């Protein structure tokens, strides 16, 4: 990471779900990362690897059978130990803006998009007056490319892509220091993907009020990540297995972890070759490196879980220029 001050500092974050019969499922294990002021960190990986669970932990939105450990510091506030009152009144919307993975579930079904935007503007910014609220709501919608002629529609009248844009507009209203975008490009065509992630990036780069801002973007869309991310964190089976600069990840020398290389090789504009096998169930993880059963480079050494050393957690990382790896 660069020398910039972290907006978010995660240390040893783990999430475990207690299941019937006393069985535990480790959904996130020992996550360590920072998101610096002015930075976009893209968290990538296959479905079911724990990315959205990590996001829910940061916002206190985990179900009752979840147990957390570690710390997630936003300034002096530990998000993992903050009470619901603090999370509801201080964190959500004000300190952390959320673009949710399932936007339709986060929009109030009986109210129009306009009324929800105006209410959020009034609550988070203090704007008052009918004309001022209307103007602010339309401005927020424009930032997320939400069409003005759909503002008076209800959520059930929107396509998935429009619902996504409505949720993005709501997340941007408070100009929160940390923007947490969980699959923000779902349902969008490529032009709108570019417009959406560019707007999220502008939020981070905004220096008009001298506030430090950062973006944690959870995504399957590697092209979107390449477009706006400064660094990339790769997650597999609940663990971060690689954390490196986006320029090194998408360019030269490329990823060092075999799983990371597999993600890139699966892209149509690359080798278009799927990773063999399937991710393990989080409730039945193999011993040692969880990727070993799918990895052509696996040896007996992989029976022991490799630590995240430098930029990669792997006993047999692909060769990379030492100075490039050290820059992260």
109 pLDDT more than 80: yes
For 75-102, what is the mean pLDDT?
95
- HEC sequence for 31-46: EEEEEECCCEEEEECC
69 pLDDT more than 90: yes
Residue 323: predicted pLDDT: 42
Give me the domain span that covers residue 240: 6-81+214-327
Q: How far apart are CA 301 and CA 292, in angstroms?
A: 10
Question: pLDDT tens digits, residue range 281-324?
Answer: 998 899 999 999 999 999 999 999 999 988 999 999 997 544 44
Neighbours of 223 (CB within 10 A): 15
Mean pLDDT of the chain, nearest integer? 92
Residue 118: predicted pLDDT: 97
Any idea what the CATH number is for the domain that residue 271 is in? 3.40.50.300
Is 96 within the bounds of a domain?
Answer: no
Is 153 within the bounds of a domain?
Answer: no
Is 75 within the bounds of a domain?
Answer: yes
Under 8 Å between Cβ of 5 and 75:
no
Rounded-to-10 torsion of CA 308, 311, 315, 319: 180
Under 8 Å between Cβ of 52 and 63:
no
Is 158 within the bounds of a domain?
Answer: no
Structure-block tokens of residue 148: 């003005």
Question: pLDDT tens digits, residue range 176-230?
Answer: 999 999 999 988 899 989 999 999 999 899 877 778 999 999 999 999 999 999 9
Question: pLDDT tens digits, residue range 70-81?
Answer: 999 999 999 999
Question: pLDDT tens digits, residue range 219-273?
Answer: 999 999 999 999 999 999 999 999 999 999 999 999 999 999 999 999 999 989 9
Neighbours of 110 (CB within 10 A): 8
Is 300 within the bounds of a domain?
Answer: yes
Is 60 within the bounds of a domain?
Answer: yes
- Residue predicted with more confidence, 65 or 325: 65
Residue 320: predicted pLDDT: 53
Is 59 within the bounds of a domain?
Answer: yes
For 20-41, what is the mean pLDDT?
94
Helix/strand/coil for 305: coil
Residue 3: predicted pLDDT: 59
- Report the number of distinct structural domains present in the chain: 1
For 121-132, what is the mean pLDDT?
94
327 pLDDT more than 70: no
Structure-block tokens of residue 59: 């916002």
Residue 106: predicted pLDDT: 85
Is 304 within the bounds of a domain?
Answer: yes
325 pLDDT more than 80: no
């Amino acid at each position: 990471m660069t020398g910039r001050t972290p907006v978010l500092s995660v240390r040893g974050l783990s999430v475990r779900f207690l299941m019937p019969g006393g069985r535990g499922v480790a959904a996130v294990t020992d996550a360590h990362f920072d998101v610096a002021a002015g930075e976009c960190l893209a968290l990538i990986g296959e479905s079911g690897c724990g990315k959205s669970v990590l996001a829910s932990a940061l916002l206190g939105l985990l179900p009752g059978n979840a147990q957390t450990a570690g710390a997630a510091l936003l300034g002096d506030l530990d998000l993992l130990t903050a009470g619901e009152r603090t999370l509801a009144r201080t964190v959500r919307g004000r300190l952390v803006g959320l673009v949710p993975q399932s936007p339709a579930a986060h929009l109030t079904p009986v109210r129009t998009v306009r009324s929800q935007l105006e209410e959020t503007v009034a609550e988070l910014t203090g704007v008052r007056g009918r004309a001022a609220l209307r103007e602010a709501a339309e401005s927020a919608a424009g930032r997320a490319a939400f069409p003005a002629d759909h503002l008076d529609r209800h959520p059930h009248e929107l396509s998935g892509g429009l619902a996504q844009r409505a949720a993005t507009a709501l997340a941007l209203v408070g100009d929160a220091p940390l923007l947490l975008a969980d699959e923000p490009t779902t349902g969008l065509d490529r032009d709108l993907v570019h417009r959406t992630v560019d707007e999220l990036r502008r939020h981070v780069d905004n220096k008009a009020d001298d506030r430090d801002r950062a973006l944690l973007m959870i995504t399957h869309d590697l092209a979107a990540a390449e477009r706006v991310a400064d660094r990339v964190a790769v997650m597999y089976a609940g663990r971060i297995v690689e954390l490196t600069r986006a320029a090194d990840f998408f360019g030269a020398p490329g990823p060092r972890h075999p799983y990371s290389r597999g993600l890139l090789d699966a892209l149509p504009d690359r080798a278009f070759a799927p990773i063999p096998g399937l991710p393990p169930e989080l409730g039945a993880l193999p011993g040692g490196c969880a990727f070993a059963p799918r990895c052509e480079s696996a040896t007996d050494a992989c029976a022991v879980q490799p630590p995240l050393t430098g930029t990669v957690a792997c006993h047999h990382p692909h060769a990379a220029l030492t100075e490039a790896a050290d820059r992260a």
